[in-house]
Chains A and B, each alone.
Chain A
Amino acid sequence: MIPAAFDYVRASSVDDAIRLLGEHGDDAKLLAGGHSLIPMMKLRLAAPATLIDITGIPQLDAIRVEGNRVTIGALTKHAALAASDALKKSAPALWDAANQLGDPQVRNRGTIGGASAHGDPSADYPAVLLALDATFTLIGKGGERKLPAGEFFRGMFDTALGAGEVLTAISFDAAPKSAYVKYHHPASHYAVVGSAVALTLNDGSIGAARVAITGVGDAAFRAGRVESALAGVRAGDDDAVAAACAGAASGQDARSDTFASGAYRAAMADVFTARAVAQAAGR
């Protein structure tokens, strides 16, 4: 696997990264953990002229829990999320995802910022970040803007990130009753289907639910119908939960590959969503 030639520069701060992006133009790419970008370069599916390494930028790799608000720096590695007790308590769905993502090597290099910016339709975090209704902080030449997850993830390898922008942080309200359940692809170990659920419970009945699914469509999506159907359902009533989760992927043009057809993926979205609901409710 032999990439084409490229230049390599290091950014010392977010401002520096923005400056370098401006300087090197469209042919430049930010480099975080490199675990999506470099495989593509090795296959020569991507051939950026310049890599701007942002891993040296200080203070972008913290997990902060302040009251009910959780903020995660874009350079936080999967392994740090997977090892965080604070995250396990405040947003176990994200902790689940980090623990099931890739393998130890990948988790030790890859970052939540890179995984989000990449927009991979089978990636784990997009479902979780949608279910957590996370806010993305983007900084560019024109300053800072904040976008909700629902606007950030747009399509296959497509996000709202502007050409000269850096994703610096992701934040969300704590969701202690949340879970992410994943159907691992036997080869890639990405999600064939991944369901993220964040619930509130009143006396054993589901109050509000946010449900998001990855792996099935062109991008992760909120399963709005399931969310409304879950309201009021007793969390311990498996049949009622299953009924509410039926058709979780309806309206999606489910993808097929050599492992699983779209129809099967859609059917599994129901099953894994019900499992995620049970797991979240049990927390």
Chain B
Amino acid sequence: MAFTTMVGARIRRREDPRLITGRATYVDDVKQVGTVYAAFVRSPYGHAKLLKVDISAAKAHPAVLAAYTGDDLHHAQGLKTSLPVAHKMADLKTPPHYMLAIDEVRVVGEAVAVVIADTAYAAKDAAELVEVEYEQLPVVVDPLKAMEGPPYVHSSLGTNVAFRMPFAAGDTEAAFAAADEIIKQRIVNQRVAPVSIEPRSMVANWDAGMQQLTLYSSTQIPHLLRTQLAVVLGMSENHIRAIAPEVGGGFGGKLNVYAEEFVISWIATQLERPVKYIETRSESFQAMIHGRDQIDDLEIACKRDGTITGLKLRIVGNLGAYHQLLTPVIPTLTLLMAPGCYRIANIQAEVVGVFTNTMSTDAYRGAGRPEATFFIERAMDLVAQRLGLDPVEVRRKNFIPNTAFPHTTSTGLTYDSGDYETTMDKALNIVDYAGLRKRQAELRKEGRYLGIGLSTYVEVCGMGPSAAMPAAGWDSATIRVEPTGSITVLTGVSPHGQGQETTFAQIVADELGVPIDSINVIHGDTDKVQYGVGTFGSRGTAVGGAALKLAIETIQAKAIKIAAHAWEANPDDVEYRDGKIGVKGDPSRSMTTAEAGFMAFMGDNLPPGLEPGMDATRRFEPPNFVFPFGTHVCVVEVDAQTGQVEFVKYLAVDDCGRLLNPMIVEGQVHGGIAQGLSQAMFEEVVYNDDGQLLTGTLMDYAIPHAEQVPHYDLDHTVTPTTVNPLGIKGIGEAGTIGSTPAVANAVMDALAPFGVVHIDMPLKPEKLWLAMHAKTGNGRAR
């Protein structure tokens, strides 16, 4: 074990000073001489034929340089106009998805034309001059209706079903036949929007001399973006540079490649001018991917003692009008995590992906796993309620025991490590669960409705083994020991708030024994950094950090050889101890990494056959996913007069293995809970039956202010993993995954005296108020 002073410490984030003093460079801060601006003309209809797209008036605007329609792009030489989707599904329907619509639009906000002008203002003015004639077509936004038949989003397919994926494990029919109780419940996981503070932003430049395209984009995946630019634009990948400068929030919304990125890149090559596009918030609501939107039909078979014996499941994923990068994959992840942290041997399921006239759904913080955690954690409470048991005891009965790891689930995943009961008991202790239940009973007598909700989640992350991913799942790291002893780290992941500039520096500081301030962590520029897959799926540290650990080992091995040679010692007797190179059993000899690095640079006293220079690039291919887990406890009081929910307490006890920097872990958990809680309480993207987006601004779509979320108490347990050499699991999404069901279970528990079984999210006061007044008329139970 390396000596540790930095790893495990609450080191302040090195990123923050520039972020909080306005010195960070976001895409819109990138100023290039001669920049011109793009404005997109977008469909106001959910489904319509394009009878005419006339850009002549826009082109005549004095400030306009160019304007293009879908047909223009389609006919442009070498331009492959259908956008990419990454998947390994056999029978997936993949209708064409053009950069700019051709013949038909299928969702409000779909881009129809683009106008380029000297200023963003002129571009917007000129975009209003584009004349589009639409003939409205029938719209379908409800996936259950869309599954059944016409109208079709893509008439050429003759169906709205993009795929059906059946699944069976064990003998579910037998389990149901032998069950004491069967509980049926439909659980809707509503559509939400990522709402990153920085909307999608991009600026492309074409250097005609160098024949080089540079795209600055607010993206989570600069290298994958570069590859897709090469494929779609038909360009040589080594003449493309993608840069993710400071990224103001992604949450999966920027784990994608968007039509606009290709369009402005291509236009930059045509005009030989930098082209900038910063979408407005309204455009972001329409045209950035959405998350969730599943209708999950559950049937749970259980014994009287609370043992769950079987699960029947239909997952209907609303894919939206087109596939974005990972659209069809997301609902399939839900199936994988359906058993949660419970032993459920018998599962019969079907996943259905359905096209509708809505924006594409895709990865949003949690991406398919929150949906599974939500229904299985609700299922625990439904079983408890039906059988008159405590939800804690139902969980205890069904947990995978800590002796059963690694544990292969009925859906085929192998959970690396876990100790669910210990974590739950720790949480119950901290909140004084028995005391809370007593208080709840007392308050009910006064007509006050306290609810206690639990979520004992497990999630899959650290994405992931390449074999299990739609595209590569490894990542990379380079370490360079510079001649003067400072250390450069180049990471293939692309942090945008996760704090890896700090945590990676902590790891290197300890392992190579250098001051943390002498380490510079560089990321997000494909011309600087070796190929990397990016930041998503809570993989940055679990995969990128593991690659870094391998690179450290390579550097250490070389430094040991150099020191041994200088000391005329046997390399086998030389080791890294407390961050320094020394001879085993001889404390008098020592050498720093910087000294060894300088010798490697000078090159005049190296062992024969050893190359000069001290750098290493390594890649880590994870042998498995990692499975963080935890228990969240939420306590609410529901106001019977209004249905408004007040948070009384929120505790999260998470287990993400070893903690590199507890403060950063807590930050991730805080943000995660806020987002998950917000889905439970506030957020919902609503399209009406005409396909109009009713929640298109922040006046209608609720992102909580600070006073709308509670104080969070946090604690943790530590169950390391052997999947990676750091012993760590991801923590980027755990808070989001764990919190939503804890909040919903708390609210449902509060309303139990009113006979409430389930209410779909968001748990708006009106729904709760109606449930409390439906039977009694006065908001008093009984």
Contact = CB atoms under 8 A, between A and B. Distances in A.
Among B120, B641, B681, B682, chain A packs the most CB atoms within 10 A around the CB of B641
Given A188-B700, A267-B769, A183 B642 contact: yes
A260 B766 contact: yes
B14 to A, nearest CB: 29
B570 interface: no
B698 interface: yes
Interface in A76-124: 103
Given A1-B281, A258-B686, A271-B641, A188 B766 contact: no
Given A186-B682, A260-B766, A2 B704 contact: no
Contact of A186 (B282, B702, B770): B702
B681 to A, nearest CB: 8
Interface string A254-283: 000111110010011001000000000000
A107 to B, nearest CB: 14
Contacts of A185: 702
Contacts of A43: 282, 697
A188 B682 contact: no
Nearest to A2: B124
A257 B280 contact: no
Nearest to A1: B280
Contacts of B770: 264
Given A187-B700, A264-B769, A103 B121 contact: no
Contact of B708 (A183, A186, A264): A186
Interface size class on chain A is 20 to 34
Contacts of A183: 642
Nearest to B707: A184
B769 A186 contact: no
A198 to B, nearest CB: 23
Contacts of B125: 4-5
Contacts of A2: 120-121, 124, 280
Given A2-B120, A187-B703, A264 B766 contact: yes
A189 interface: yes
A185 B697 CA distance: 14
Interface in B667-710: 681-682, 684, 686, 694-695, 697-705, 708
A259 B762 CA distance: 10
A257 B700 contact: yes
A29 to B, nearest CB: 19
Interface in A163-188: 183, 185-188
Nearest to B695: A258
A258 B700 contact: yes
Contacts of B61: none
Contacts of B684: 258
B764 interface: yes
Interface string A50-90: 00000000000000000000000000000000000000000
Given A2-B121, A4-B125, A258-B686, A188 B705 contact: no
Given A103-B705, A258-B694, A264-B766, A187 B699 contact: yes
Contacts of B694: 258
A244 to B, nearest CB: 16
B705 A189 contact: yes
B284 to A, nearest CB: 11
Nearest to A186: B702
A232 to B, nearest CB: 24
B691 to A, nearest CB: 15
Nearest to A193: B642
Interface string B136-166: 0000000000000000000000000000000
Interface in B731-774: 764-766, 769-770
A102 to B, nearest CB: 11
The 4 closest A-B pairs by CB, nearest first: A187-B702, A186-B702, A264-B766, A188-B699
9 contacts: A2-B124, A3-B121, A4-B121, A4-B125, A186-B708, A188-B699, A258-B700, A259-B702, A264-B770
Interface of A: 1-5, 43, 103, 183, 185-189, 257-261, 264, 267-268, 271
Interface of B: 120-121, 124-125, 280-282, 641-642, 681-682, 684, 686, 694-695, 697-705, 708, 764-766, 769-770
Given A1-B280, A103-B705, A186-B708, 17 more contacts: A1-B282, A2-B124, A4-B124, A5-B121, A5-B125, A186-B682, A186-B702, A187-B699, A187-B701, A187-B703, A188-B698, A258-B684, A259-B702, A264-B769, A264-B770, A267-B769, A268-B642
